[in-house]
Structure 1
Amino acid sequence: MAIYSFDGVDLKMMLRGAVELLGQSKEEIDALNVFPVPDGDTGTNMFQTLVSAVKEAESVNSNHIGLVAGAAARGGLIGARGNSGVILSQILHGFARSLSGIERATAPDISTALEEGAKVAYRTVMSPVEGTILTVVRKSAEGAAARQSGDLLRLMVTVFKKAFDALQETPDLLPALKRSGVVDAGGRGFVVILEGFLRALRAASPVAKTSSETPVMVLTRETTVKNQPVFQENAGAINYTYCTELLVKGSNLPVENMRAALSPFGDSLMVVGGEGVVKVHIHSNNPGLVIEHCLKHGTLHDLKINNMADQNQELLTAAERTGTSKPLGIISVGAGEGITEIMKNLGADAVVSGGQTLNPSTGGILKAIDELPSKRLIILPNNKNIILTAEQAGKLSQKEVTVIPSKSIPQGLAALLTLNPEDDFETTGRKMARALASVRSGEITTAVRDTEYKNLRIKKGDIIGLADGDLISAGKELTGVLEDLLKELIEGEGRLVTIYYGEKVTPGYAEEITERARQKFASQDFEIQDGGQPVYDLIISVE
């Protein structure tokens, strides 16, 4: 049966179908990693991002496709995790922007929306690389534009086929993919999403619509992100005690007028949404006034009021003692009790839990930004897959945020070492950025699959070593891989080598392998720290 248009109810059904299929496929997508390290999380990041998008879309009590698409875009924006999640959120953003104001979408509308989604995604990445999800999205949009049919089902079949073909070509565009015998993970995730859309669209018949109250997949606690980022903060002052969040539902909600009217009540204000539903977030001393104003425009839902003074008693006490707040705040991303404690001791005001396999969401980083009293902040992502997420959080904040593109824990720690309380915001940022080049980073972990890379033949379970992100050593013994890694990282004499051992390494064994390294590289200074990090048995910093 031909389908010539669909509305917000159909879009919700398609989104549910995509989440269901992506949830089933995320582990397979995670495994599509060029390096055999246990940090493949592309599928998981895309899944969690899409879950956030679907939850927000489900909150819209309307069959207006523009409103539903807009809500999905907002949910994806806040829930985005990792580079793949950020790119997916931008695809949704462009898609929704194109459908804004449209109640029912036709095939030409969807074709234009896909094209806009691809354009926005490309603009998100500073130096787009072909052979990635970006290529797959662009080719699918080109397929939609070339399809001369008013039947949406036929259009989506064409889009899916074009995306699938583009995915198969990704190894020809990226040699690293061909060497590893895999296709691009982000591209694969997008193809799975399109397949989920297509399956649900095929069910969009009059019979299916009458049973639309029974979703393809019900979003429950089990499908939401279980491990939310945790924040560890120190000194600062809270100007507004209550964090108030709620949804306002009604017709023709005046978003701009609401934002202007609520602005005098506090700070960290966010008023986003469309005509049917608006999400409000504000830090205020008078949540009652916020609620009374919102009641003028519609009904209230999901109301949450948190006393931030109770949540941040240590922070509040320090502010009362000094009577001042820091002119700038530092947010660092890290994992492991030892790493976290070191970051705090070096001056990080908030440590967001995250790293390999557990990328924080845009909303998680935004929460850390909002909860710090400083109006100007610096973020250290400390992972190449978190940089885009941090930048997106900074753009969503009303505060002035600078992201220093640190790609490893050693780079982040080197940046923190430059902190001087007498430096202003700009000077601090410049010093941190320069510090990234002063340190080399090494990681040692266990291979999760067989692979060949350059001249290395790696078996699942082998110990592997990476120098500045490049796989350079593999073997059966950690000490041998560490020696190879240090030979690569150390140039000249008088270098300081710091070894951070992970949660699976005992203190005694860490001391033993560090002593062996001291004897082998006698002209270098060695330090050992309990990092407690997951994934990597050792993180090595060479300054």
Structure 2
Amino acid sequence: MAVYTFNGDDLKIMLRGAVDLLEQTKDEIDSLNVFPVPDGDTGTNMCQTLASSLKEALNVESHHIGLVAEASARGGLLGARGNSGVILSQVLQGFAHSLSSKEQASAADLAEALEKGAQMAYRAVLTPVEGTILTVVKKTAEGAANQRSNDLLRVMVAVMKSAFTALQKTPDLLPVLKQAGVVDAGGKGFVTILEGALQALKSASPMAKTTAPKTETLKTSQAQNLSDFERSLQSLNFIYCTELMIKGKHLAIDKIKSELLPYGDSLLVVGDSCTVKVHIHSNHPGLILECCLKHGQLSDLKINNMSEQYKDFISYDKNNKPFAVIAVGAGEGISSILKNLGADAVLAGGQTLNPSTGELLEMAAQAPSVKVIILPNNKNIILAAEQARGLSSKEITVIPSTSIPQGISALLSLNPEDTLENNVNRMKEALSSVSSAEVTRAVRDTTYKDIVIKKGQLIGLVDDDLITAGDDMSKVLNDILGKLVEGSGKLVTLYYGENVNAGEIETLLDAAREKYEGNEFELQQGGQPVYDLIISVE
């Protein structure tokens, strides 16, 4: 049977189908790394981003596709994780913007929305690279625009074919993909989203299409909402994080917001005239409930005591601190080092654990200053940090650090007595003063350049380039040091991971001190996951 229009309920069904299929295939997508390192998280990031989008969409009790799409875009924006998640959130933003005024959409509307999504995605990336998810999204939009049928199912099938063809061609556009024998992971994720959406739309009965999926049926592992942000550092002034949904008729978001404003901070009021989501930190959650009850029925109530999370900021005066520094890092040792060097707070994250835009935004909101510096310390977190900067009411500066050594080097240049501008300039300059290397284990057999790699072997990367592999840590470490340490006067710091024996590394370091005489070597407990060693040379 032909389908000529779809509405908000259909969009919810499609989003649900996409999330379900991403959940099933995210590990496969994660494995599509150019390098066989155990930090592939593209599928996981896209799945969590879209799950956040779906969560917000399900909270809209309306058939209006524009309202559902806008809610979906809000959820994706705050839940975006990693570069692929941020790009996906921008696709959703463009899609929602195009459909905002429509109660239901036609095939032509779908094509226009996909085109707007592609444009937004390209604008989100400073230097777009073809052969990535961007290309797949663009070709998908072109495929939709070229269709003359008004049957949405036929158009969706054709769109799927365009996306799949574009995905298969990504290795021809990016030689590094061809050499690794993989297609682009982000592109694969986007094709999976389209496939899941199409499957759900085709299998939905007329009854299913007119009944919105229930929020409670969403898998807990997929549901990403504002309670995720409670892992972040919170303010000392208000200790209860209160979240709830208000359901009613003719809800006035601005009025609700103005009434709640005196009761606390970190206030977020989003939704539409029928459903409003509230998030606030206060000392009197009872007053919050009474205020909200005046507007409608309450549901999905959550109240969390955050007092144990205030310790990091207890000594700071929010009104007097000229600027605050937030760093991203994983591992107890790494976190302690970052704090000791001047980071006011460390958000847990890094490889396989990319914090969302919302988590970065929440952390910045609770920082002890109206001016905030963010050190992402991972190339896959920079876009999310930039997105948080654009959404925050505070003045946020993102230092584009791509590794823990770069983040540490930037912090070493920090002078709390100097101006924000001078500190930012020094920190950015410090990024180029350090080289980084990592040792981890291969997750699959492959060949990179002339290096034959077996699953489980140690592999060494220098400044994001895989240069060596082997079964012996001594060989891999020597290959790395031979690449990075020339002459004398270098400071080499090794941060060992959570599964590494410090004594064994110290023995290897003693041999390195003899071989590279005239250089200084240090060993620090990093406690980081994924990487056995993180190496800094400056």
Which category of TM-score, normalised to the shorter sequence, fits these structures?
A: over 0.9
The question of 1:524 aligning with 2:526 is answered no
**Counterpart of 2:62?**
62
**Which residue of structure 2 aligns with residue 279 of structure 1?**
277
In 1: Cα distance, 2:312 partner to 2:352 partner: 30
Answer whether contact 1:343 1:413 (CA < 8 A) is retained: yes
1:339–1:274 Cα change, 3 Å = same
1-structure distance, mates of 2:177, 2:318:
56
Q: C-alpha separation between the residues in 1 aligned to 2:489 and 2:449?
A: 31
Distance 2:275 2:335 in 1: 39
Is residue 13–residue 216 contact of structure 1 (8 Å, CA) maintained in 2?
A: no
Matched, 1:371 2:366: yes
Mean CA deviation greater in 170-179 or 288-297 = 288-297
Q: Tell me which residue corresponds to 2:160.
A: 160
Q: Tell me the distance in 2 between the aligned counterparts of 1:241 and 1:458.
A: 51
Task: State the alpha-carbon separation in 2 of the partners of residues 53 and 382 from structure 1.
Answer: 26
Which residue of the partner structure matches residue 340 of structure 2?
345
Shift of 1:240: 4.7
**Which is further off, 488-497 or 406-415?**
488-497
User: Does 432-441 or 488-497 show the bigger shift?
Assistant: 488-497
The answer for the alignment partner of 1:432 in structure 2 is: 427
- Please name the residue that 1:472 is paired with: 467
Is the Cα contact below 8 Å between 1:440 and 1:468 reproduced in 2? Answer: yes
Query: What amino acid is aligned across from residue 218 of structure 2 in structure 1?
Result: L
Structure 1 letter corresponding to 2:246: V
Counterpart of 1:156, as a letter, is M
Q: What is the aligned partner in structure 2 of residue 109 from structure 1?
A: 109
Would the alpha carbon gap of residues 323 and 120 (structure 1) be closer, same or farther in structure 2, given more than 3 Å must change?
Answer: closer
Once the two structures are TM-superposed, the CA of residue 94 in structure 1 deviates from its matched residue by 1.1
Would you say the 8 A contact 1:143–1:162 is kept in 2?
yes
TM-score, normalising length: structure 1: 0.93
> What letter is aligned with 1:312?
Y
Q: Does 1:443 align with 2:438?
A: yes
Aligned-partner residue type, residue 127 of structure 2: S
Instruction: For residue 294 of structure 1, report the CA deviation from its aligned partner.
Output: 4.0
Following the alignment from structure 2 to structure 1, what is the Cα–Cα distance between the partners of residues 54 and 272? 16
Runs of 5+ consecutive residues of structure 2 not aligned to the other structure: none
Distance of aligned partners of 1:475 and 1:311 in 2 relative to their CA distance in 1, 3 Å threshold: closer
Question: Does 1:20 pair with 2:20?
Answer: yes
Question: Is 2:385 aligned against 1:390?
Answer: yes
Q: 1:487 aligns with which of 482, 485, 503?
A: 482
Q: Distance in 1 between matches of 2:455 and 2:441?
A: 8
Q: Is the counterpart of residue 405 in structure 1 residue 400 in structure 2? A: yes
Shift of 1:286: 6.0
Q: CA deviation at 1:232?
A: 7.8
Partner SS for 1:130: coil
Map residues 4-403 of structure 1 onto 2, 5 A cutoff.
Answer: 4-209=4-209, 212=211, 218-224=217-223, 238-240=236-238, 242-259=240-257, 262-263=260-261, 266-284=264-282, 291=289, 293-306=291-304, 308-309=306-307, 311-313=309-311, 315-316=313-314, 318-319=315-316, 325-403=320-398
Q: CA deviation at 1:262?
A: 4.7
Q: Which moved more, 1:81-90 or 1:275-284?
A: 275-284
Measured at CA, do residues 311 and 253 of structure 1 come closer, stay the same or move farther in structure 2, by a change above 3 Å?
same
Following TM superposition, by how much is the alpha carbon of 1:214 offset from its aligned partner in structure 2, in angstroms?
6.7
Asked if the contact 1:81/1:359 (under 8 Å) is kept, the reply is: yes
Report the Cα offset of residue 112 of structure 1. Answer: 1.1
Q: Aligned partners of 2:256, 2:484: CA distance in 1, in Å?
A: 56
> For 1:369, what is the secondary structure of its paired residue?
helix
Q: CA deviation at 1:260?
A: 5.1
- Between the aligned partners of 2:312 and 2:534, the Cα distance in structure 1 is 31
Could you tell me which amino acid in structure 1 is paired with residue 446 of structure 2? Answer: T
SS at match of 1:171: helix
Where in structure 1 are there 5+ consecutive unaligned residues? none
Deviation of residue 256 (structure 1)? 4.3
- Rounded to whole Å, the distance in 2 between the matches of 1:184 and 1:314 is 40
Question: 1: distance between equivalents of 2:80 and 2:296?
Answer: 29
Native 8 Å contact 1:17 1:217 kept in 2: no
What one-letter code is carried by the residue in structure 1 that aligns with 2:329? Answer: G
Greater Cα shift, 419-428 or 303-312: 303-312
Report Cα offsets for 1:290-341 as digits up to 9, x if no partner: 555544443333344445556415633x24xx79652211111111111111
Q: How much does 1:231 deviate?
A: 5.6
Counterpart contact for 1:20–1:217, Cα < 8 Å: no
Higher mean alpha-carbon deviation, 491-500 vs 220-229, is at: 220-229
Contact 2:320 / 2:369 at 8 angstroms: preserved in 1? yes
| Larger displacement relative to structure 2 (214-223 or 393-402) | 214-223
Corresponding residue pairs, total: 537
Equivalent pair of 1:20/1:216 in contact (CA under 8 Å): no
Deviations 1:424-464 (A, max 9, x none): 22222111111101110000111111112122121212211
8 Å contact from structure 1 (residues 380, 405) kept in 2: yes
Structure 1 388/286 Cα, relative in aligned 2: closer, same or farther at 3 Å? same
My pick for the range that moved more, 399-408 or 250-259, is 250-259
CA separation in 1, counterparts of 2:460 and 2:279?
Answer: 45
Indicate how the Cα distance of structure 1 residues 310 and 532 shifts in structure 2: closer, same or farther if over 3 A, else same: closer
Specify the alignment match of 2:418 in structure 1. 423
Q: Against the structure 1 CA distance between its residues 169 and 313, is the aligned structure 2 distance closer, same or farther, given a 3 Å change threshold?
A: closer
| TM-aligned CA distance change 1:384 to 1:481, over 3 Å | same
Shift of 1:77: 1.3
CA contact (8 A) 1:268 1:398 kept: no
SS for the counterpart of 1:341 is helix
1:157/1:198 contact within 8 Å kept: yes
For residue 250 of structure 1, report the CA deviation from its aligned partner: 3.1
% identity of equivalent residues: 61
- Taking a change above 3 Å as real, the CA distance of residues 362 and 485 of structure 1, as seen in their structure-2 partners, is same
